[in-house]
């Protein structure tokens, strides 16, 4: 299984600012995923990030609000731009398994509170 | 389109009692099914997965789940609840294919009463 770390683990931010979340994997992976988990709710896929190409965003999420970088096969960043209190969520990155590609492994998450 | 429905957003059991968390899926093709657990202030951990090899799947921490095609169900069980099982549990489905998007259920919070 992949070991995934995220930075920061939590943050409290002011409205109108931006936060960049980092995701580091201990092995090279083709696809990385970013999810949002709003308080008391399930996970919603924001986008899929492939190395060397533009991220693919799900319905309801746009690049201007959630720009993603994927500079190499072990690292990705998600930026939450021009934040509002509605962006207060847990943001998780995940990767597919290597032994079985239908499996996904998750990072510990970044807990974001926007005031 | 694939989907999963988890019945009961909150489940309470006594320590030592049977744990049963319900999950029903909807899929036009044979699915892959998963149960994840999220402990307080932590990320998601894979409990077990159904990959069509066997209908009864055993996972970590004494949990198991049975795939029942006739009932489109994949309920999670554990014979005897432990205090450390208190967490939120998510059922998830993925359809094999080029995109392989995972769809999560709404989650069930398990409370274990001493």
Q: How far apart, in Å, are the Cα atoms of B11 and each of A21, A54, B7, B43, B113?
A: 33, 41, 10, 20, 11
Judge: B44–A43 Cβ closer than 8 Å, yes or no.
yes
Contact criterion met (CB below 8 Å) for A89 and A36: yes
Q: Do B44 and A41 touch (CB under 8 A)?
A: no
Average pLDDT over residues B87-113: 85
- Residue B79, pLDDT > 90, answer yes
- pLDDT 10s digits, A87-101: 999 999 999 876 666
The confidence score (pLDDT) of residue A99 equals 63
The pLDDT, as a whole number, for residue A98 is 65
For an interface test with B, give the residue of A103, A107, A112 to mutate (most B CBs within 10 A): A103
Check CB contact under 8 Å for A92 and B44: yes
DSSP states of B2-66: -EEEEE-SEEEEETTSPEEEEEEEE-SS--EEEEEEE-TTS-EEEEEEE-SS-SEEE-GGG-EEE
Q: How far apart are CA A102 and CA A110, in angstroms?
A: 24
Distance between alpha carbon B33 and the CA centroid of its chain, in Å? 8
- Find which of B36, B92, B94, B102 to mutate to test the A interface (most A CBs within 10 Å of its CB): B102
Mean pLDDT of B30-45: 88
Identify the pLDDT of residue B5: 93
User: What's the pLDDT at A85?
Assistant: 96
- Predicted confidence at residue B97, as pLDDT, reads 57
Q: What percent of chain B has pLDDT over 70?
A: 95
Interface contacts A/B by beta carbons within 8 Å: 43
- Out of A42, A96, A101, the one facing B105 most closely (by C-beta) is A42
Q: Would you state the pLDDT for residue B71?
A: 92
Residue of B4, B27, B30, B43 to mutate when probing chain A, most A C-beta within 10 A: B43
pLDDT for residue B99? 59
Position B87 scores a pLDDT of 96
- pLDDT, averaged in runs of 10, over chain A (115 residues): 90 97 93 90 90 89 96 95 96 82 84 96
Q: Cα distance from A110 to chain B (closest Cα, Å)?
A: 9
């Amino acid at each position: 299984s992949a070991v995934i770390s995220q930075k920061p683990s939590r943050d409290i931010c002011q409205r109108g600012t931006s936060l960049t979340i980092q995701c580091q994997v201990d092995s090279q992976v083709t696809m990385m995923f970013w999810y949002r988990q709003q308080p008391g709710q399930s996970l919603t896929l924001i986008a899929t990030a492939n190395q060397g190409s533009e991220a693919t965003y799900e319905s309801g999420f746009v690049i201007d609000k959630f720009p993603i970088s994927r500079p190499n096969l072990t690292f990705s960043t998600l930026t939450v731009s021009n934040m509002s209190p509605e962006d207060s969520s847990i943001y998780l990155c995940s990767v597919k398994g290597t032994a079985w590609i239908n499996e996904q492994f998750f990072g510990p998450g970044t807990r974001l509170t926007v005031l | 389109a694939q989907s999963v429905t988890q019945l009961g957003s909150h489940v309470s059991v006594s320590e030592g009692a049977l744990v049963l968390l319900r999950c029903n899926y909807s899929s036009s093709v044979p699915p892959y099914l998963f149960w994840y657990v999220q402990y307080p202030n932590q990320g998601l951990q894979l409990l077990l997965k159904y990959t069509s090899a066997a209908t009864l799947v055993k996972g970590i921490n004494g949990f198991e789940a049975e795939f029942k095609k006739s009932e489109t169900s994949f309920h999670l069980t554990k014979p005897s609840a432990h205090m450390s099982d208190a967490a939120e549990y998510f059922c998830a489905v993925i359809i094999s294919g080029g995109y392989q998007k995972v769809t999560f259920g709404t989650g069930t919070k398990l409370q274990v009463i001493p």
